[in-house]
Amino acid sequence: MQENVPHAGRGEAGGETIPHWHDPEGEAMTIVEGEDATVYDDEGAAYLDFVSQLYCTNAGHSNEAITDAMTAQMERIPYVSSAKGNDVRDALAADLAEIAPGSLSEVYFSISGSEANESAAQIARTVQDAPKVLTRWQSYHGGTAGAGALTGDPSTRSTVGRYAATTGSGKFLPPLPTAFDADSPADLAKQAADHVEFVIRNEGADSVAAIMMEPVGGSSGGYPAPPGYFDRLRAICDEYDVLLIADEVITGFGRCGDWFGIDTEDVEPDMITFAKGVTSAYAPLAGVIADDWIGEAVREEGYDLGQTFAGHPVACAAGRAAIEEYESHLIDDVRELAPVLESRLTELADAHDAVETVRGRGFLWSVVFADPETGEPFVHPWAADADEAEENPVAAVREAAAEKGVLFGSGRPDVQILISPPLCTTREEI
Ligand code: PLP
């Protein structure tokens, strides 16, 4: 029997078809090449990659500035122990401190977004001497044990549910219109923030180290917070001595039109976690950027987050080159083209009865669908995975788009398509 093995494309091993390692039924497409906002499958078909693979190839595919920087680092020295100094790693840490808001300047590298969130949670527990890190229901913060416990997406429960309850992580409702009976965005902001205060008080403020959330909900549905929500959360965190952690794994590095999604809210978090776009996904790299005082406190505790591949020099070289690309033009390009993307999506919404809402920011948008006959979503907005409709027309929209040569993402629950093009996407491609 043919084993499922990692392989770049089908039919390439002595003429034999090798199933996709993750997809034994062979349903997923096999992507073998890419350039800028376009990817190509193993039969040569081109697709506009309007999901940046997994919301991560922010600078687009095959960017030469990034690949050249990685090659140069490979030739100098590919790897240096994470316990030693390294010029490119130190320089990237300085770059990150420079672009992070306010006094966030202590950088702790890790390899994946899941580990970055685990690190942030552990740092919060250490410096606050409290066990709980509270997150939103329906959020995604990663799949490892600790990050899986932070994740509030019920569809991941089958893998993380058994131990999630043991790791000190409570949940609160996201600021979505479906979660509160609010009559305006300001009312929604107030109700949703008051609810977070209620949860902190009821968990016991002394037991809560931090709250963690995405500035713009990513795989949970591409939604920005209503104006005023983050201001109020910052005030609540200060009042109860709870840290505010922004998970910027998707929203960072130009995705929402700023260096970080939280920049738009004009609120300073205590920590930011990052991954994906930091290297434009050219190599795995992630981490935490913490406020100065947190760095001091971590040093006093002697807490060591060291991982062998944390801050890998080739990934750091990719990160420096990607940041240069974002800085030199890509963030400006997003600011210029985001209104174009928004107005084209809004036109779609106006023309189709089944489109309920279009929402997002920068180059992170979602088109939310509802049954035109009943006005109800095709799956319940609080659906856990098992409740999702078997024949969900939203999935059919994605499939039809792929047939027409455009790739979109899916959110949980599956009531929307997510649109997250590379930042180098042109006006014509939009
Ligand atoms: N945080 C958010 C908001 C994410 O969307 C993801 C992954 O998609 C993660 C954390 C986990 O990152 P990784 O897949 O790199 O472990």
pLDDT (tens digit, 9 = 90+) per residue, 233-243? 999 999 999 99
214 lines ligand 1 (CB under 6 A): yes
Distance 55 CA to ligand 1 centre (A): 9
The count of residues in the chain is: 430
Backbone φ, ψ for residue 170 (5° rounding): -90, 175
Backbone φ, ψ for residue 36 (5° rounding): 50, -120
What's the predicted TM-score (pTM) here? 0.94
Cα–Cα dist 339/337, whole Å: 5
Distance 368 CA to ligand 1 centre (A): 22
218 lines ligand 1 (CB under 6 A): yes
190 lines ligand 1 (CB under 6 A): no
Give every CB contact of residue 239 below 8 A, 6+ residues apart in sequence: none
pLDDT (tens digit, 9 = 90+) per residue, 361-388? 999 999 999 999 998 888 887 776 545 6
Residue 8: pLDDT above 60?
no
Structure letter (DSSP) for residue 220? T
**Which domains does the chain carry?**
31-62+329-419 (3.90.1150.10), 64-325 (3.40.640.10)
Residue 33: pLDDT above 90?
yes
112 lines ligand 1 (CB under 6 A): yes
Return the C-alpha torsion angle 219, 225, 229, 231, nearest 10.
Answer: 90
Q: Which residue in this structure is represented by tokens 């999901």?
A: 51
Sign (positive/negative) of CA torsion 121, 213, 410, 337?
Answer: negative
Residue 205: pLDDT above 50?
yes
Q: Which of 259, 256, 263, 265 is nearest to 421 (CA)?
A: 256
ipTM of the assembly? 0.99
Residue pair 174/139 in contact (Cβ under 8 Å)? The answer is yes
pLDDT (tens digit, 9 = 90+) per residue, 143-198? 888 898 899 887 776 666 555 555 667 899 999 998 999 999 999 999 999 999 99
Backbone φ, ψ for residue 41 (5° rounding): -90, 180
DSSP 97-108: HHHSSTTEEEEE
pLDDT (tens digit, 9 = 90+) per residue, 100-150? 999 999 999 999 999 999 999 999 999 999 999 999 999 999 988 889 889
Residue 114: strand pairing partners: none
Distance 104 CA to ligand 1 centre (A): 21
Q: Which two tokens stand for residue 124?
A: 């919060």
Nearest atom (ligand 1) to Cα of 214:
3
421 lines ligand 1 (CB under 6 A): no
Sign (positive/negative) of CA torsion 34, 334, 317, 246?
Answer: negative
pLDDT (tens digit, 9 = 90+) per residue, 297-325? 999 987 777 799 999 999 999 999 999 99
